[in-house]
Amino acid sequence: MINFDSFISDEIWLAPQHPLAHNLELPIFEANRADNEEIQAIQQFVKDNISDRTPTEPSDTPLAIQNSQPVNRDPKELRIPGVVKRIIPIDNDTSWEYWWCVPGRLLLAEDVDLMTSDLPRVESILEQLVWLFGGHCFGKECDRLGDLLPVHDWQEVLTFARQHGFESYLLDIDYLPTAIKRYNQQPDSAEDSTDTEYIAVEPAHWHIEFFQITPTNGGYEIQHPKTICSCQIWTGKPFIKHLHTGETSIRYDLWVAHPLDLTQPPWFK
């Protein structure tokens, strides 16, 4: 049973502070020019001899620029986290936070410890959303067509994840606002090649993806290839509606909505 007072408790929405919080806004110089290896070296404040690393590398690369900066503190104190605080809306008035992995960045040991220790709080929120709206679990071979039966117990979601190999895991969470788009369904046969235009509607929903990490040089990275294992919590049923006939079909494979990216610090684009 869910306690309504705890469901709206202010304390549950706030993510814990990162142990390297003072480094969250340290710059990665010209990050749009850097490859993942350079970004991860900058994160760890690796003071390499650039000519030893790549003899032909010009002196204006992001790593070279970072290495040219004066160091007034212990380099260990200048490591840049691989996570940012992501803001997930519940409704127009309420949001909650969790620590989100920035694509292409190395996960420091502090990042992993923080996400692991914060997992019970995050799951307690998801548990309540699954109880309230129901959740739909999807793997690689799962059917996404029709009026699928949701689960209303987070433990059933975890059972599904274990069946897909996730005894241990972290969570990637997206909030996707309502989307209404024109949708061209691919015909199954030549006879169906006309009148294939629909309106696709995806109500606001949360997409929770399970993932695992693997150790790498100096930290951790998301394990690839990923095993597809997710839970979607919908505020309504996604559907397509034929523009001419009005025929409607429930579909969970439309992918017309896009995640709402709100982060703190707000530098991530």
What does each C-alpha distance from 120 to 101, 123, 126, 208 come to in angstroms? 17, 5, 10, 15
Comparing 8-17, 84-93, 128-137, 170-179, the range with the smallest average pLDDT is 8-17
Burial 199-215 (b: 16+ CB within 10 A, else e): ebbbbbbbbbbbbbbee
pLDDT band at 25 (very low <50, low <70, confident <90, very high): confident
* Residue 145 within any structural domain of the chain: yes
Q: What is the mean pLDDT of residues 120-134?
A: 96
pLDDT cut 90: percent of the chain above it: 55
Burial class (CB in 10 A: 0-12, 13-18, 19+), 240: buried
* Residue 96 within any structural domain of the chain: no
pLDDT tens for each residue of 210-261: 999 999 988 999 998 888 999 999 999 999 999 999 999 999 999 999 999 8
Top pLDDT among 145 and 38 is at: 145
* Residue 6 within any structural domain of the chain: no
* Residue 236 within any structural domain of the chain: yes
Residue with tokens 């996960």: 107
What average pLDDT does the structure give for the chain?
82
Residues of the domain holding 247: 107-260
pLDDT tens for each residue of 158-178: 999 999 999 999 999 999 999
172, 161 contact by CB (below 8 A): no
226: Cβ–Cβ under 8 A, 6 or more apart, which residues? 209, 211
Q: Which of 214, 25, 234, 224 is nearest to 138 (CA)?
A: 234
**Amino acid making up residue 247:** E
164, 141 contact by CB (below 8 A): no
pLDDT cut 70: percent of the chain above it: 75
Read off the DSSP letter of residue 135.
Answer: B
What does the pLDDT read at residue 77? 64
| DSSP three-state, residue 267 | coil
Tell how strand 197-202 and strand 95-101 pair up: unpaired
Domain count, the chain: 1
Q: What is the mean pLDDT of residues 64-91?
A: 71
* Residue 246 within any structural domain of the chain: yes
* Residue 43 within any structural domain of the chain: no
d(CA 152, CA 142): 18
Q: What is the mean pLDDT of residues 38-52?
A: 59
* Residue 60 within any structural domain of the chain: no
